[in-house]
Amino acid sequence: MPQGYLIFHLNLAFSSIAEDARPGVIRKCYWPLLDMVGRTGIPVGIELTGWTLKQISLLDPSWIDRFKTMLADSRCELIGSGWSQIIGPLVPYEVNRYNQRIGLDAYRELLDIVPAIVLVNEMAFSTGMVDIYADAGYVGIVMDRDNVRFALGLEHAPVVDMPYRAKGSGQTSLPVLWSDSILFQRLQRVIHGDIPVAEYVGYVARRAQDDNACLPIYCNDAEIFDYRPGRFSTEASLHPEGEWNRMSRVLQRLETELDMNWLSPSAALTYRVPGEKIEPALLSSTSQPIPVKKQAKYNVNRWAVTGRDDLWLNTMCHRIHRGLLECQENSVDAWRELCELWASDLRTHITQDRWQEALDRVDAMLERFRREQSLQPQGATQSSWVGECQDVVIEKDEEDIYWTIKSNLVQMTLNVRRGLAISALAFREHGFEPVLGTLPQGYFSSILLGADFYSGGILIELPGERNRMTDLERVVPQLVREDTSLSIRVYLPIAGGELTKILKMDLLNGTVTLHYDFTGFSRPMGIIRAGILTLLPEAWNLPIGVSCINGGQVPEEFVFDGNVDHGKAATTFVSSSASLGATDGRVLVKDSSGRALQLKWDPSSCAAAPMLQNRIVNASCLTRIYFSLCELDDTFRPDGRLLPFSLEISASKP
């Protein structure tokens, strides 16, 4: 007898739903869902944020009353979410904690219940989020299985090979109730009338036999049945049978023809099959540090650097977050407002009216801190000058191509024929052995890597114009000596505007800062990646890895143990496939000997998305780290803002 379960996701903040359409969504989608539960007796899970729950209580309190009664009678089960649907791995720890706390308060207030299981928002998972959910009191999580299988290299392995428990930091772990993208999309298609019911039932029968596990028949949106948000011109017309009626009929056919036994989400969480792995395991990898939902176009950059203006909006949210911390704000209202501004739906197909409302709310929050004069963008590092500074030595080669700048803490060679590309960067902590720089053409034997791989530059690609631009031009540097630093500045015309590029060597602290300022042009319909860094293989002992914080409190570690390419296009229209969260603006690069570089930036000045590349070639490897300011996908809209970006590089001893 196959076992199955259903979870419906309710979201009145859905990006394409206008505010005045919300009562219709409740009437056409949420009431029929409860009616279906009453009619079929299936103990479905219903997941919704505290914000959506509050909106329903204001618009249709009778729905809340009925839902509350059905929960008390165990006819359905509440699945948690938080106050807002936010991308946890892109959001600072304090915001994630408040989001869960405020959400749980809403469940208690309106439903007299707290959920035991939480659904990972947008299925955007990181190891740090396990700790967040465990600290909030949840006993299990709902996560997309297909993308975790892909992240772990298990997409061709039996379903029972998937881990049962998600490992957090330290000893923390939580059991996982798996969602399945293909299963829920197949149900959507049969309900919309795109495939015959008999074909669908046959597919579920094969999955039941092949998987030998409890089947997540549906774990997705409720707003797509008997309603169309209007996001796409190609949306299917409503089925004449009535899609919630058709849903009941299809589910009942699974019962009669397959003898399907329906479990509540909590019962499914504890359902075990022989051979299932019960040891806690990491659910992410270096190639996919933040698995998300559905197919490849739904990678984490969808909410980081695409949309109407995701880079700017995330930056402003980081700025508000920093202001709340600096003024030691404990007001739940202020943190609730920030959680709402960090909602994922503001970053995808948001309507113009709701986008303008979000801009006004951001400005209101920022104005508060402007009045208090506590919230100005800060550089990666602020230092004060004490004592005397040794002289800096500048050497030029005979052809005036390479300039080498030496202090007692840092040595850096720049290529003035290539836009101040870093040929070699060395720190005293590493015995002045260069750790990053340029790998010249011919370094690798493979023609696939038959190019120069520079450090310190930018890349702009405009696919629609079939144009690719870099800053690798001849420049005439301007040197500016300050009390504690030396700055090398150049101006480069690019993409119809001007790039100001500054390399700053701090003579007191031994750090190097790369700064990029874009003047005269806005965010283009394209890809912008800055701060491109190439590690010099001879300086590093394998394996090399990186660590950063992805929404939690403790850094997560990712080892380069295979080929990785976050910047690889996921589809023709989606320009990248992954990135790190690095929610505190830091990435640590470290090898097996302990040699390390710290990369640091200020997300409240520019919330860039750090990306990784690693290509193994014989006994060597091409390892690069860079920062995206703009990517392309189906949510991208023109006219976003392009913010200045500063990246500080420093060394630590082995």
pLDDT for residue 449: 87
Instruction: Determine which helix (DSSP H) or strand (DSSP E) holds 191, and give its type and residue range.
Output: helix 181-192
3-state secondary structure of 415: strand
pLDDT for residue 496: 84
pLDDT for residue 27: 97
Please report the sign of the dihedral spanned by the C-alpha atoms of residue 111, residue 117, residue 122, residue 127.
Answer: positive
Q: How far is the C-alpha of 223 from the C-alpha of 226, rounded, in Å?
A: 8
DSSP state of 296: T
Q: How many helices (H) and strands (E) does the chain have?
A: 14, 30
Q: How far is the C-alpha of 117 from the C-alpha of 6, rounded, in Å?
A: 14
pLDDT for residue 272: 82
Structure token pair of residue 392: 């800096």
Residues 6+ apart with CB under 8 A from 225: 29, 32, 191, 243, 244, 247
Q: What's the pLDDT tens digit per position in 465-515?
A: 889 999 999 999 999 988 889 999 999 998 889 999 999 999 999 999 999
Averaged pLDDT, 535-552: 96
Q: Where are the beta strands (DSSP E) in 388-451?
A: 393-396, 402-406, 410-415, 421-427, 436-437
pLDDT for residue 170: 82
Confidence at 376, pLDDT banded by 50, 70, 90: low
Predicted TM-score (pTM) of the model is 0.94
Q: Where are the beta strands (DSSP E) in 294-397?
A: 393-396
Is 122 a residue whose pLDDT tops 70? yes
CATH topology for 3-295 is: 7-stranded beta/alpha barrel (3.20.110)
pLDDT for residue 234: 57
- Could you tell me which CATH number the domain at 396-652 has? 2.70.98.10
Residue in 639, 439, 410, 363 with CA at minimum distance from that of residue 521: 639
Q: Where are the beta strands (DSSP E) in 495-619?
A: 497-506, 511-519, 527-534, 545-548, 556-559, 564-565, 586-590, 596-600, 609-617
pLDDT for residue 232: 52
Q: What's the pLDDT tens digit per position in 186-217?
A: 999 999 999 999 999 999 999 999 998 999 99
Is 169 a residue whose pLDDT tops 50? yes
Residue in 587, 577, 628, 626 with CA at minimum distance from that of residue 606: 628
* DSSP characters over 43-59: --EEEE-HHHHHHHHHH
pLDDT for residue 321: 96
Virtual CA dihedral for 393, 399, 402, 408, nearest 10 degrees? Answer: -20
pLDDT for residue 300: 97
Residues 6+ apart with CB under 8 A from 79: 7, 45, 46, 47, 115, 117, 118, 119, 142, 265
Structure token pair of residue 507: 């003579």
Please report the sign of the dihedral spanned by the C-alpha atoms of residue 99, residue 100, residue 103, residue 105.
Answer: negative
Confidence at 374, pLDDT banded by 50, 70, 90: low
Structure token pair of residue 613: 């590349």
Residues 345-365 as b/e (b if ≥16 CB within 10 A, e otherwise) read: bbbbbbbeebbeebbeebeeb
pLDDT for residue 389: 43
pLDDT for residue 390: 56
pLDDT for residue 375: 55
Residues 6+ apart with CB under 8 A from 253: 197, 201
Averaged pLDDT, 228-250: 81
Domains of the chain by residue range: 3-295, 310-371, 396-652
pLDDT for residue 639: 85
Is 386 a residue whose pLDDT tops 60? no
Confidence at 382, pLDDT banded by 50, 70, 90: very low
**What number of other Cβ atoms are within 10 A of residue 269's Cβ?**
23
Rg (CA), the chain: 26
Q: What's the pLDDT tens digit per position in 43-66?
A: 999 999 999 999 999 999 999 999
Q: How far is the C-alpha of 379 from the C-alpha of 605, rounded, in Å?
A: 8
pLDDT for residue 235: 64
